[in-house]
Structures are given as C-alpha cells and as structure tokens.
C-alpha cells in the first residue's frame, strides 16, 4: 500500500454564493480524490471561482468539507487539534496580511504561540529578507516584501505541507519571480509537500510537479 | 399645573420635530419614539411613587427589570447571537450593580428608593449603550478583518488571539463617547445628576463631586460589561474547529 503524505478521498463542498442578492448554495467541489507523496509539488489551476482556494482551505481546516475524508500522514485531519494541524499545514494567501509590529515580531509569531524561540537570522536569510528590514514596521513594507514576510512566518512553524493560494498574483513580475524561486528552493531544502494554486499556466509549467485543473468541481490532470 | 405644561410642551415638540423629519422618512419613528417615551416615563414615575412608600429593597426588582430590557436591547444589537440574551442581561446587571453598591456603602446616598432607582438606572442605561456600541463595532471589525483573522488562524493561533485586535477596537470605540463626556464635563454641558441636584438646591461642589463619581462609575461599568460580553461573543464567531464562520449578512 502506498504511503501518501496527503490524501483527499471523495471530498465535496458546497458554498453559499450571492446571486441577485439572494444566497444560493453552489456545489463547488464534487468527489475530489487526490494523493500527494511527501515532498511532491502539485499545481492546481482553474478559472476564477472554480474552488481552488476552497480546496486549500479544507486541507488546513479554515473551512469544513461537507463529505469525504482528508488524511495527513494517514490520519484524518478531524482528529488533529486544528491549531496543531495548521502548524503542520502552513498557508500563504494571495494578498499578504502582516500583523501589527515589526518584521521580527511577525516572524517570531508562530513559535511564540508555543513558547519557543525562532532563529530570525536564518529565517530571514532563507526568505530573502534584508536584515535592515527586521526592525521595520511590517505594515510599511512593499507588497512583495510583505509576501516574503508571510512566507517566512509560515515557514517558521516548520510545516510539512505548504498551501500556496496564488502567492505571486498580487506582486509585480520581478517580486513574483523572486518569491517563486525562493519557494522552489525552500521546497527542495526542507522536503516540503506543496499544493500551489495558480491561474497562470506558464507558472504551473515553470514550477514543475503534477499539474491539475479544477473544472466543474472536479480535478483533472492537465496534459497541455 | 407644571406637569401638564411640561407634557404639553413635549407633545408639541415631538409633533413639530416629526412633521419636519417626514422629509427624511423618519417622521413616524420620531412620533412613535416620542409617544413611547411619554408613556414609559409616566409609568416609571407612577412606579416610583409606589416605591417611595415601600422598603428600599423593593427597588431591586425594578432595577432587574431595567437590566433585562437593557440586556435585550444589547442582545438585539449583537445580531441575536446564540445564548446571547442571558449573557447580555447578566453582564449589564452585574457591572451596574457592582458600581452602584459603593455609593450606598460609602454613605454618599442613603438606602432609599429615591436614590437607588435613579442612580441604578443611569448606570444600567449607560452600560447598555456602551455594550451595544461595543458589540456592534466588534461584529463590524470581525467582518472587515476576516483576512487578518484567518491569517492568524492559519498560523495556529486560537480564535481568542486571532480576534483580539477586533475586540480591543470594539471596546475602545464604545468607550470614546464616555471619554469625551468626561473630558468635556463642566465645559460644554452640566450633566443630568448635577443639574438635578442643583435644581433641588444642593451645594454646587457636592453636586459636582457626586456627578464626577457617577461618570467614573458609568465608565467602569461600561468597560466591565462590554469586556465580559465581547469575550463571550468571541466564541459565537467561530466554529468548534476554530474556523471563522461565514458572514451571515
């Protein structure tokens, strides 16, 4: 039997969407199956509103699936403490959200929750954050810098899986390329399992790994 | 004669204001609120007449009824969150009572309905206002800062921590009117208690001292009640799996 790091079995989810000011229940994910081995990279493409973000949110339980099973290391994610699960399954969002305080405060946040210290120097170096920025107010950084802070902040928790919800789509081309390269390097160095949602086919090709498309609530392999 | 004139003046002013406010489509509301105010305050006055003849502890059922109505008002403002009504009533009643007791234990006021009911009602009414504002603002902050809250949750933070900045903002915003009132005390207006005492012929310094202690009590009671309420309501924004619930609006 294969030992998958992450497994989705028959996962379905409906969401409420506003149509003409009334809320309509829409089936967004239908019987999704997905097996991911440790250290694998899976890119997920799909049209806007196709459920890509929802799919990621089910894996760290920011949202709850309606049916099906999601297993991490063979264990149903419902049996993890959600706070522990979210440390194991980190997430980067499309629009970076930094917390009040300095860059250093942001990087130390995750570990501080568990009463541990974090090696800020190594972390910032890994994420390409200049040491001069460590004591800067995080709210005053550029969007690209903020996204790097968010990346480092997620990595500080030493996750096994990293969920990337279009992490470069809000950035200019140069910043996007930099984040993309950083993420791929860190994936190799830390043997991270990555699920990377993107709407750019070129990006999906560049980053490699398995390419999937979410269409009409179902995941299909992209052979183009 | 004075009471008839005062009520006649009230009716006239409400009618005129409502007639003018029709152009803003709130004429009906003003008429209704005005009519309710007259009836309610006259009923209260009748109850007070009876209370004055009874032992002082009969004041407490009246205060409890006031706290229940205040709690219901705040609960409605909360979007009728689960189990919110008893919590709202208890928070407002407990905070108001806690700040009411010292006035009588220290001998500032005698244990008489004449003092217990009005002082208690001032505390309950103001605590209700602060609590309603706090819960309304807290809900708004949670709605507007979903991304931030979820960023906290995604790093393994508990819901209480993830929403703490929203809670803090809710309490600060609710207390701003009380802080402004304290700052402007005696500069812009002479508040109700002091006015009443002066009209009754009290010494101005004594009236001012009582007024300022009432203000401090209002502030403290508002802060206690809204802190209790908002902490309780935090749970209603999240599921048991620490997920931020969908915005119901």
* A63 contacts A163 by C-beta, under 8 angstroms: no
Q: Which of A64, A83, A150 sits opposite B156 (nearest CB)?
A: A83
* A42 contacts A209 by C-beta, under 8 angstroms: yes
Q: Which residues contact B87 (CB under 8 A, 6 or more apart)?
A: B228, B229, B232, B233
Angle, helices B2-21 vs B27-52, to 10°: value is 160
What's the farthest any 2 CA atoms get from each other in chain A?
Answer: 51
How many CB atoms lie under 10 A from the CB of residue A5? 17
How many CB atoms lie under 10 A from the CB of residue A154? 26
C-alpha distance from B238 to closest chain A C-alpha (Å): 10
Q: Please tell me the predicted confidence (pLDDT) of residue B189.
A: 78
* Residue to test with chain B: of A14, A109, A116, most B Cβ within 10 A: A109
Contact A82 B243 (CB under 8 A): yes
- Per-residue model confidence as pLDDT tens digits over B131-143: 999 999 999 999 9
DSSP state of B25: T
Q: Over its length of 249 residues, how does chain B's per-residue pLDDT go in tens digits?
A: 788 888 888 888 888 888 888 788 888 888 888 888 889 888 988 988 898 888 988 999 999 999 999 999 999 888 777 788 999 999 999 999 999 999 999 999 999 888 999 999 999 999 999 999 999 999 999 999 999 999 999 999 999 999 999 999 999 999 998 888 888 888 887 888 899 999 999 999 999 999 999 999 999 999 999 999 999 989 889 999 999 998 755
Q: Which of B156, B165, B244 sits opposite A86 (nearest CB)?
A: B156
Distance CA A182, CA B185 (A): 59
User: How many angstroms from the chain centroid is the CA of residue A63?
Assistant: 14
Q: List residues of chain B with CB under 8 Å from any CB of chain A.
A: 147-148, 150-158, 161, 165, 239, 241-244, 246
Nearest CA to A99 out of A47, A152, A21, A50 is that of A152
pTM for the full model? 0.85
Q: Please tell me the predicted confidence (pLDDT) of residue A172.
A: 83
Q: Is A169 left (phi over 0), alpha (psi -120 to 50) or beta?
A: alpha
What residues in B contact A154, CB-CB < 8 Å? 154-155
CA dihedral sign of residues A203, A169, A197, A82: positive
How buried is residue B23: exposed, middle or buried, by Cβ count under 10 Å (0-12/13-18/19+)? exposed
Mean pLDDT score across all residues of chain A: 92
Contact A86 B241 (CB under 8 A): no
| pLDDT-based confidence at residue A1 (cuts at 50, 70, 90) | low
* Residue to test with chain A: of B144, B146, B150, B155, most A Cβ within 10 A: B155
Contact B151 A97 (CB under 8 A): yes
Distance CA B210, CA B220 (A): 15
* Residue to test with chain B: of A63, A70, A77, most B Cβ within 10 A: A63
> Predicted ipTM?
0.94
Residues 157-186 of A with CB under 8 A from B: 157
């Amino acid at each position: 039997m294969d030992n998958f790091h992450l497994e989705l079995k028959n996962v379905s989810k409906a969401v409420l969407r506003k149509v003409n000011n009334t809320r309509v229940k829409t089936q967004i994910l239908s019987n999704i199956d997905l097996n991911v081995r440790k250290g694998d990279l899976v890119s997920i493409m799909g049209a806007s509103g196709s459920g890509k973000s929802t799919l990621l949110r089910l894996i760290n339980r920011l949202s709850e699936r309606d049916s099906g099973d999601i297993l991490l290391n063979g264990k149903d994610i419902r049996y993890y403490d959600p706070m522990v699960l979210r440390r194991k399954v980190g997430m980067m969002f499309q629009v970076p959200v930094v917390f009040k305080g300095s860059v250093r405060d942001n990087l130390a946040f995750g570990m501080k929750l568990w009463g541990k210290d974090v090696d800020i120097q190594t972390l910032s170096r890994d994420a390409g954050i200049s040491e001069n920025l460590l004591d800067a107010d995080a709210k005053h950084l550029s969007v690209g810098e903020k996204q790097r802070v968010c990346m480092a902040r997620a990595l500080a928790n030493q996750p096994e899986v990293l969920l990337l919800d279009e992490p470069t789509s809000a950035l200019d081309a140069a910043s996007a390329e930099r984040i993309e390269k950083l993420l791929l390097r860190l994936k190799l160095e830390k043997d991270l399992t990555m699920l990377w949602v993107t709407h750019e086919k070129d990006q999906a090709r560049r980053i490699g790994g398995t390419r999937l498309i979410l269409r009409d609530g179902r995941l299909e392999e992209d052979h183009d | 004669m004075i009471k008839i004139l005062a009520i006649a003046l009230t009716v006239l002013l409400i009618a005129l204001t409502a007639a003018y406010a029709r152009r803003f489509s709130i004429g009906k509301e003003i008429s209704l609120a005005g009519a309710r105010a007259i009836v309610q305050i006259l009923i209260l006055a009748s109850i007070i007449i009876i209370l004055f003849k009874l032992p002082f502890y009969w004041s407490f059922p009246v205060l409890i009824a006031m706290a229940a109505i205040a709690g219901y008002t705040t609960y409605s403002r909360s979007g009728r969150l689960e189990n919110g009504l008893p919590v709202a009533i208890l928070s407002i009643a407990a905070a108001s009572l806690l700040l009411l007791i010292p006035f009588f234990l220290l001998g500032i006021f005698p244990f008489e309905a004449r003092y217990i009911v009005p002082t208690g009602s001032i505390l309950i009414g103001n605590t209700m206002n602060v609590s309603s504002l706090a819960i309304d603002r807290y809900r708004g902050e949670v709605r507007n800062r979903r991304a931030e809250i979820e960023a906290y949750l995604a790093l393994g933070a508990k819901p209480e921590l993830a929403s703490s900045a929203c809670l803090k903002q809710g309490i600060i915003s609710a207390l701003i009117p009380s802080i402004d009132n304290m700052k402007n005390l005696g500069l812009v207006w002479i508040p109700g208690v002091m006015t009443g005492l002066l009209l009754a012929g009290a010494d101005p310094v004594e009236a001012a001292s009582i007024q300022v202690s009432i203000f401090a009590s209002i502030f403290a009671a508002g802060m206690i009640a809204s802190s209790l309420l908002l902490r309780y309501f935090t749970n209603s924004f999240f599921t048991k799996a620490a997920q931020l619930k969908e915005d119901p609006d």
